[in-house]
Amino acid sequence: PADIYVYRTQKWVNETYDTAPGYVSCSVTGYTGWNTVLALTQGLQHELGISPTVQNFGPGTFNAVKNHEIVPEFERNANLLRLYNGALWCKGYWASQSLGGWGEESEASLRQLYADMGLDHANAGQRLAMWPHVLKSLLRMDQFRLVPGGDPHVRAIQQRLNSRYVAGIGIPAMSLVPCDGIYSRDVQQGLMMAIQYELGIAPGSINGYFGPGTQAALKGRGSATLTGDLRYLFRAACYFNSPTYTANGQAHYLAADIGTDAPTGTHLGWLQAFQRFSQLPVTGHNDYATWAQLLVSSGDTTRDATGCDCITEITPQRGQLLKANGYHIVGRYLDEHLAPGDDGYLGKALKPGEPQAILNAGLRFFPIFQYNGTELGNFTYDKGYDQGKKAHVKAAEHGIGTGTCIYFGVDYDATDEEITSNVVPYFNGVKAALAELGSRYTFGVYGSRNVCIRVSKDAGARWSFVSGMSWGFSGNLGFPLPENWSFNQIHEYEFQPGWGLDHNIWRDGGDPGVSAVGRG
């Protein structure tokens, strides 16, 4: 239901700052949303002398709050207090009903918010030092109480990240992470910053990216025994990737006790299962390949792989080259939506006789279908239905046998909302088309981890082909490998001049691909 105090906040902030330079009015509905907290942010900027105001709590706003050096209990600017109270109401905390005052109700809620964030409100120095961080988080949609579906053990890790690395150490680039029990992109970045600090990277150089410096620091450790905070962070990364799956498909959960004093043996079985599931050497150690797999969707991009895919025709000579370089299976496109001569035409479709040339080289192949997969507008039920039929016809023309899985591509960073509104309906269309034509072929999904997980769960994709090399995709940050992953695309490189190749981990026991073709 709508909240009367949120409604009053929205009405007040519009009336008060309507003429402030740059101000964008928020909807007066009684429901909190981004437009409300951004309006409050602009009100804050106006009170602190920033003009024109902008819809962003950036470094300028942060520094203005920091330089103001007044926490709410000592604030005498009534409009600032109204903004703070309004922000508490919008975050779901009780506050002063008059908005303009700062009584015990407001202060008690602020104490609770500090505690929910993992911060020490009773420590006057920390209370003041953390106020700019707290206010920035108040004016976002981040949650700091356990949400439905949230894990209290994940929340404890989130609070510890805030307590040690934002409040304690003060990593310059690090903001407070949500404490809602959900592993997300922001939490993943906070975890990475914490790991960078514990690896000895200077606080001013910490950026949250799995770059060359972080990789070198992890490689330099080898598999040395972990202690203290780095051991805790390694186990936190393991917990975020839990469950993993055993060879027979059973979910394997990591024990929740990841404290630094927990016996190592309680986590060994999970770690070995994770390494096996991820197609890593089963060492039971915190080696570089395992760290990489826990932290980024591409994992260790230098590791050996037996799968690949490309837009280039596989001639007999190219097939022999792939085989000689350790590849056993290659992904190829069934069709292309552009005609020769069109701008952007790639000539990527399988050529007549090419499937047999691939097989003759001792390779297998797996079919991919993608029309405009980089655009949201491609993903509708009707287009899925149409493309499902086209894919069936092309596969049959090449003599591809019954039971083969065709991978349909989602080649952009689809948000969770877009997956619900467009991507899942598209795959339902694909499914209906293939069923109508006799279910000769099954369908798989190519995309981010989240796309693969959602499409497999909500539309019934048989196998997942994960775009792991796009590690910066929001759909790859904060999500584990899909249970049904068969290929993980981890690296793109020029195999030969003019011949680009994607390097794919092919999972043992995954999609067998095509090993024989018949007449078209």
Walk me through the domains of the chain, giving residue ranges and CATH numbers: 4-138 (no CATH), 152-295 (no CATH), 307-506 (3.20.20.80)
80-117 burial by CB neighbour count: b if 16+ within 10 A, else e? bbbbbbbbbbbbebebbeebeebeebbbebbebbbebb
Q: What is the dihedral of CA 6, 11, 16, 19, to 10 degrees?
A: 120
> Chain-wide mean pLDDT for the chain?
94
pLDDT at 305: 95
CA distance 85 to 215: 44
Total-model pTM: 0.91
Mean pLDDT in residue range 407-423? 96
Q: Are 397 and 519 in contact (CB under 8 A)?
A: no
Which candidate, 403, 324, 410, places its Cα nearest to that of 372?
410
The pLDDT of residue 59 is 96
Question: Using CA atoms, how far apart are residues 408 and 444, in angstroms rounded to an integer?
Answer: 6
**pLDDT single digits (tens) 150-204:** 999 999 999 999 999 999 999 999 999 999 999 988 999 999 999 999 999 999 9
325-356 residue pLDDT tens: 999 999 999 998 877 888 877 889 999 999 99
451-507 per-position pLDDT tens digit: 999 999 999 999 999 999 998 898 998 888 999 999 999 999 999 999 999 999 999
Q: Convert the pLDDT of each residue in 68-111 to its tens digit.
A: 999 999 999 999 999 999 999 999 999 998 878 899 999 999 99
Give helix 124-138 / helix 78-91 axis angle, nearest 10°. 70
What is the structure's pLDDT at 260? 57
pLDDT one-digit tens code per residue, 106-135: 999 999 999 999 999 999 999 999 999 999
Over range 375-379, report the average pLDDT: 93
**DSSP-assigned letters across all residues of 356-389:** HHHHHTT-EEEEEE-SSTTSGGG-SHHHHHHHHH
Banded model confidence at residue 262, pLDDT cuts 50, 70, 90: low
Tell me what pLDDT residue 100 has.
Answer: 80
pLDDT at 99: 76
Report how far residue 394's alpha carbon sits from residue 333's, in angstroms, rounded to the nearest whole number: 10
* Token code pair at residue 122: 């009773």
Average pLDDT over residues 40-66: 97
CB burial class (10 A; 0-12, 13-18, 19+) of residue 232? buried
Residue 343 CB burial class (10 angstroms; 0-12, 13-18, ≥19): exposed
CA Rg, the chain, in Å? 26
Instruction: Using alpha carbons, select from 194, 147, 145, 151 the residue that is nearest to residue 174.
Output: 194
